[in-house]
Structure 1
Amino acid sequence: MEYAHSKAGASVEHWHPFTDHAEGTALLARLFAEPLNAPDLGELLGLCHDAGKCFNDWQRRFLAVGGRGRRHGRVGIPHADVGAHLLRDAAGPAALAVLGHHKGLTTVAELADLPANPDQAARFAEAQRAFLRAVPRAEDLLNRRDLIPAEWRENRSLRDMGLRLVYSALVDADYLDTSAFMAPTEVRTGEDLTTVNLLARFDEARTSRALPISELNLLRDDIYEQAVQSAELPAGMYRLTAGTGTGKTLTSTGFALNHARKHGHRRVIMVVPFITITRQNAEVLKSKLGAESVLEHHSAVDLPNDSWTKLATENWDAPFIVTTTVQFFQSIFARRPGPMRKLHRIARSVIILDEVQALPATMLVPILDALRILVEHFGCTVLLCSATQPTFDRLPIWRKLTVKDIVTVPKTRLERARTVRFRYWSDPRPTWDEVAQDAATHDQALLIVNTRADARDLYSACQRAAPEHRVLHISRNMCDRHVMATFESAKKALGRNEKLLLVTTQLVEAGVDIDFPTVYRAWATAEAHLQSAGRCNREGNRSEGLVIIFDPAGGRLPAGYYRVGAEVARRHFGPAQANPDNLDALSEYFGEVFHYLKLDSQGFPRNKQKWEHWHHVTHNRSRLNFRDVADGVHRFQMIDEDSVPVVISSYRGPIGETALEHLAEIRAAVGNAASAAKPTRLREAIRALQPYTVSLSKSSVRRAEERGDLVPIITDVLYGWTGGYSQQTGIDI
């Protein structure tokens, strides 16, 4: 008998028979590939993925080392290449899924090179004969030539996405079947959306809170009812364009749950650009759907041990997912099994893209292409949510795609429900001291600027100008625990009607649930102006809020899209021009920005050589190259790749001391290189440190090292901060 796996210390009669593993993996892979319209392909990949383990020398070596644990139990003979070679004729490029089920997707050139020499050819032949004796029914599937759906063969982008999804189905099936043998009590086998129960729970929770009658609340109810009625429409691409503070989170959820019930979608995935909003939305949804139904997945979430949350996060095995834009799209364009394992769960889902205006311009082409393919070929519905809806359907990549609005609000109705007025301050341009002095005339004001350096300068000016106010600061110079603690402190001060000035970067701009009577916004993109207005008189409890858009002398603007958008905004908004909530002006604004970036013609931004490289490798007709695609995407991902995490052990918040414990754990794991458990311990310790990290550019890291402010924990990967850390403003770099 051939074996696939062993347990440390277990005798051979308790090992995992090869045939059982092949059949178990095939059963799950077929189930997972069903929504991809490729069940037979999934089944065959599952049957063949470990075919190389049938090689006699592999089994002899396994019998010698099996049961001794991973540290001493390495067989040392490849096995994935045998199944890939066996599958080349039947599965074509999908054989890459078997070749890379441990190491990741690579290139079709590697398939063409199999076998590389006569010895490898002899190993293949022997293992394949033994495999077909162990799993004889695989032969019929191997003789098929229609396993890859015909439409995948005809479209490059669709083929790429289809193979990624079926690879995910195989990796997840292999992991689950192996885990069922190793630790059966910890395995989750699948939990799709039960819309009837969740809908009833959601509707009850939503209607249980009585809100006062106001123009804003009447508008919220109207928007929600329109969205629920639109849920009856066919699956497709939809837009929810609604002003800030009009309840987009609950409205989009109501649409998604009703739409899923109508069309049999398996789950809802809410994708949010910022961790602060991800947490906020997850808490709201957990309160209305139940914590057991909502999976919160992002880099800063605390995953409890031995819980369904920890297990479900690995493959999104939950009915409602709340995740970040980075997590969602970098998983789609990854090539390694870890981040890709969950991808097959996306098929036949409702995907809510919240604050869609925050999608990075340099990534728009692959993002929009991926969304289009998921809608047109894999049963997804996508809902684009924003108060500042970009005109994506003007771009060539979506020109043939119909995007429908689920809500229509007359301009007169929007005027009646408006909660703020705009004032512009640019001639002459004010200094930071002048802005601070003006803000000090208000009891409570939020001041939003564009860079960390500007936030520090304005914070200092506000401290001088407003000695009777509580002055708080939030920026990414502070670790995440510090940011959240300050944010909560600001909300409590607002609730107690204390005099408060909160100086912040864009961190509290889009979607964050905080309500000031007055907001100051340094000149930026048009969408930033309107998103900032959403933090002013958010609940409509005041007769009118005031949003002051000022153009500071000496103010800084981030490079790239942000600077382009800020300059284009000057031609459309301001004194004697439109306000940022003018939808017609916003449409023209986005059209001009996309044109300037050449997104409306060539398909990639100007002066972006890395993007041109990505465009080349993804549109190469001759051969698939998942390695180059993944590397291309990660060279310009949605977070700054040129940054390094730095651990702040000196933050003295309520639970700041925890960082020191994890620092010690990491140093022990790094030092104990011989430990078999080291990689797992290291990953867990680094993850636990994320709430205590600040991202610094590599140039800042080099300067800090020269000053002696940093200690390398893992060189070029993780550093410990030994320099000064302000309990008000964070790192001073």
Structure 2
Amino acid sequence: PNDVFAYLSHCQAKDAKKFSPKIPINALRNKFLHDIVHNDQIKPENHFYTITAPTGIGKTFGCLAFANQLIKKLPENKARIIYCLPYTSIIDQNHAEFENIIRFIHQDAYDLKPERYLLKHHHLSEKIIRNRTYTDMNEIPSYKDYLDDCLFVESWESAFIVTTFVQFFETIIGHRNRLLKKLHNIVNSVVILDEFQNIDPEYYQLLRQTLDVFGKRFNTYFLLITATQPEILDIKKSGSIELIDSEQYMKHSLFNRVDLQIIKKGQFIEEFIQDFCHTFSDQNCLIVLNTKKSAIKMFNELKANTKAYKIVCLTTLLTPGDRKSKISQIKKAIHKNERIIVVSTQLIEAGVDLSFKTVYRDFGPVDSIVQVAGRCNRNGEYGIKGGKMIVVRLYNEKIVYYYAQVYPSILSQFVEKTLIDDTYESKDFADISKKYYEQFDFQGKSNSLLRALQELNYDTSMRNQIPVKDFKLIQSYNDESVYILTTPEAQNNMERLLLLRKDLNEKADNEKQADLFEIEKYKMLLKDFRKVKTAGNAFDRNLVSDEILSMFF
């Protein structure tokens, strides 16, 4: 078992000051873990569990403590753990936390065969197994070895999987062979769905029914975790267990970290920038916008007019490698108390461990507003209600609101009916979220897919049905990629990759094995420079070459 408490004791011995149980926040985190593991409703006959708790309480440790407690009570005392997140951009951080725990528990055995204990899997992840053993010491990896490794990774043969919602849900509701290879390993497992509020509400009914079937018919256990629990599970039907008294944590004074102001009058983005440049004087700030164009505009204007601050921009136009680098730079700047302003799109909402004194958020769904509030005074370093967050409504030169370009109008109506006051604070977020989600009743798309599943309709368009092949958790994406080569090494690797692919066509089949393996190696070396091109967001080469180069360099 991956003993969280043994690891925490190790951390306390290593850094007694940081992990001291006498520190109020640590005492509350310890109570949170205690409440989970001593919940007597964790038992094999209960398949559905939830945790609703504030950012910073230690949900990563909590979910692992829950899984261990449940597995101890299962007949065979073992089960695969599958931990799912909404975005690839936050997987590395969570994977690293789990790796620290698992490496501590298993010591040398982990380092010898790491993927046996912990595996990271998404469309950009590496599919080469470390420390492969050979009977012949002089043997080098072959293309067949690579295919075997791919099968191991894509079949989820490890004891602990860290993956995405797309990988998980498009396996249990899907028809593609490549995804279905891991279906049998989801059966009898413990599935942890973190930041579940990021799922499209139109799929709530579909996922409610699907999870119910997998839980009860395939002996699978589900834990849903969020700071804003949407009504995904049918509590009466699923009998879901709330592992903690969420209200005592959500409304605890230590987590009452943010004063939230709602500005209901709209304004041109240029007016906001001008006002901000003239009035802002705090040490650091985060500005979260709804579109990449508005973020880039904000970034360029602030960089030109705000010389006293370091200005950083985070959007999905950055490659994964550059994004990680920027986040690392931001962390260091905040730690050194440097004056910094970060402009970001919604990618910062979930799982990014950054904390700012002041946060602005362009108008959006309530769950997004609450998630962004989790980047404000995140660790309580500015004291109770020491963080300041302002929700604004920005529109472009045509007086078109930016939120209207990315969110359905019905969600905007729900937000307006929910946020009727001008000011709130963190302790109000649980009530706000409940009021918001009570308005949700999206069933059309879910019911069309459910009818197709019931009739095993995988590929035929029919009235009142959406064939299973058309189910996509993220609506607009495909497999086209653009590589943004921001270093000489990356350029050299790409030249070598293109040369190998060209030479491949001129070789006999029996001569291709080594080159095929080399090609895959170079593709993995270039993964941090790869940006997936989506159908709904055509890649604008001029935008990259002219406007956002300063975001990279």
Counterpart in 1 of 2:345? 505
Counterpart in 2 of 1:647? 482
- Residues 423/434 of structure 1: CA separation in 2 closer, same or farther (3 Å cut): farther
Correspondence for 2:71 among 236, 260, 265: 260
Secondary structure in 2 matching 1:537: coil
Counterpart in 2 of 1:279? 92
Secondary structure in 2 matching 1:498: coil
User: Distance in 2 between the 1:202 and 1:512 partners?
Assistant: 23
Contact 2:266/2:394 (8 A) holds in 1: no
Give the TM-score of the pair, scaled to structure 1: 0.62
1:729 partnered with 2:551: yes
Per-residue deviation, 1:415: 3.9
The code of the aligned residue for 1:531 comes to Q
User: Distance in 2 between the 1:306 and 1:346 partners?
Assistant: 24
1:692 partnered with 2:529: yes
The code of the aligned residue for 1:302 comes to E
Secondary structure in 2 matching 1:694: strand
Counterpart in 2 of 1:547? 389
The code of the aligned residue for 1:727 comes to L
Per-residue deviation, 1:299: 1.9
Correspondence for 1:402 among 236, 239, 245: 239
Per-residue deviation, 1:470: 0.8
* Greater mean alpha carbon deviation, residues 676-685 or residues 639-648: 676-685
1:407-436 CA-partner distances (Å, limit 9, x unpaired): 104458724121221123343636341364
Matches within 5 A, 1:300-699: 300-305=124-129, 307=131, 312-393=152-233, 400-411=237-248, 414-417=251-254, 418-427=256-265, 429=267, 431-434=271-274, 436-437=276-277, 440-543=280-383, 544-554=386-396, 555-557=401-403, 563-573=409-419, 575-576=421-422, 581-592=428-439, 594-595=440-441, 599=442, 603-605=443-445, 614-620=449-455, 624-627=456-459, 632-643=467-478, 645-652=480-487, 658-666=493-501, 668-669=503-504, 689-698=526-535
- Residues 535/295 of structure 1: CA separation in 2 closer, same or farther (3 Å cut): same
- Residues 203/443 of structure 1: CA separation in 2 closer, same or farther (3 Å cut): closer
User: Distance in 2 between the 1:412 and 1:257 partners?
Assistant: 22
Per-residue deviation, 1:322: 0.7
1:558-609 CA-partner distances (Å, limit 9, x unpaired): 65755532331121115347557432331221121x22xxx2xxx324xxxx
- Residues 214/550 of structure 1: CA separation in 2 closer, same or farther (3 Å cut): farther
- Relative contact order, higher structure (CA 8 A, sep 6+): 2
Contact 1:470/1:501 (8 A) holds in 2: yes
User: Distance in 2 between the 1:459 and 1:447 partners?
Assistant: 10
1:299 partnered with 2:140: no
Contact 1:669/1:681 (8 A) holds in 2: no
* Greater mean alpha carbon deviation, residues 245-254 or residues 306-315: 306-315
User: Distance in 1 between the 2:381 and 2:238 partners?
Assistant: 40
Counterpart in 1 of 2:49? 238
Counterpart in 2 of 1:227? 36
Secondary structure in 1 matching 2:175: coil
User: Distance in 1 between the 2:8 and 2:151 partners?
Assistant: 29
Per-residue deviation, 1:551: 1.6
Counterpart in 1 of 2:144? none
The code of the aligned residue for 1:450 comes to N
1:37-63 CA-partner distances (Å, limit 9, x unpaired): xxxxxxxxxxxxxxxxxxxxxxxxxxx
Per-residue deviation, 1:643: 4.7
Counterpart in 2 of 1:288? 101
Secondary structure in 2 matching 1:385: strand
Q: Identity of counterpart residues, as a percentage?
A: 21
* Greater mean alpha carbon deviation, residues 538-547 or residues 301-310: 301-310
1:72-114 CA-partner distances (Å, limit 9, x unpaired): xxxxxxxxxxxxxxxxxxxxxxxxxxxxxxxxxxxxxxxxxxx
1:128-155 CA-partner distances (Å, limit 9, x unpaired): xxxxxxxxxxxxxxxxxxxxxxxxxxxx
Matches within 5 A, 1:135-214: 195=1, 198=3, 201-202=6-7, 204-205=9-10, 207-208=12-13, 209-210=15-16, 211=19, 213-214=22-23
User: Distance in 1 between the 2:537 and 2:193 partners?
Assistant: 33
User: Distance in 1 between the 2:6 and 2:249 partners?
Assistant: 34
Give the TM-score of the pair, scaled to structure 2: 0.81
The code of the aligned residue for 2:449 comes to W
Contact 2:51/2:246 (8 A) holds in 1: no
* Greater mean alpha carbon deviation, residues 306-315 or residues 469-478: 306-315
Per-residue deviation, 1:534: 0.8
The code of the aligned residue for 1:582 comes to F
The code of the aligned residue for 1:251 comes to G
1:419-470 CA-partner distances (Å, limit 9, x unpaired): 2211233436363413642674222111111111111111122113311211
User: Distance in 2 between the 1:725 and 1:672 partners?
Assistant: 43
User: Distance in 1 between the 2:412 and 2:507 partners?
Assistant: 51
User: Distance in 1 between the 2:72 and 2:429 partners?
Assistant: 35
1:133-180 CA-partner distances (Å, limit 9, x unpaired): xxxxxxxxxxxxxxxxxxxxxxxxxxxxxxxxxxxxxxxxxxxxxxxx
Counterpart in 2 of 1:269? 82
Q: How many residues end up aligned between the 2 structures?
A: 503
Contact 2:448/2:466 (8 A) holds in 1: no
Contact 2:296/2:548 (8 A) holds in 1: no
Per-residue deviation, 1:723: 5.3
1:378-398 CA-partner distances (Å, limit 9, x unpaired): 22211100001001235xxx6
User: Distance in 2 between the 1:524 and 1:475 partners?
Assistant: 17
Q: Which runs of 5+ in 2 are unaligned?
A: 104-109, 133-148
Secondary structure in 1 matching 2:49: strand
The code of the aligned residue for 2:181 comes to R
RMSD: 3.4
User: Distance in 2 between the 1:423 and 1:558 partners?
Assistant: 21
User: Distance in 2 between the 1:333 and 1:673 partners?
Assistant: 40
1:5-45 CA-partner distances (Å, limit 9, x unpaired): xxxxxxxxxxxxxxxxxxxxxxxxxxxxxxxxxxxxxxxxx
1:623-670 CA-partner distances (Å, limit 9, x unpaired): x34455999445341234355633234323886754444444445557
User: Distance in 2 between the 1:619 and 1:519 partners?
Assistant: 46
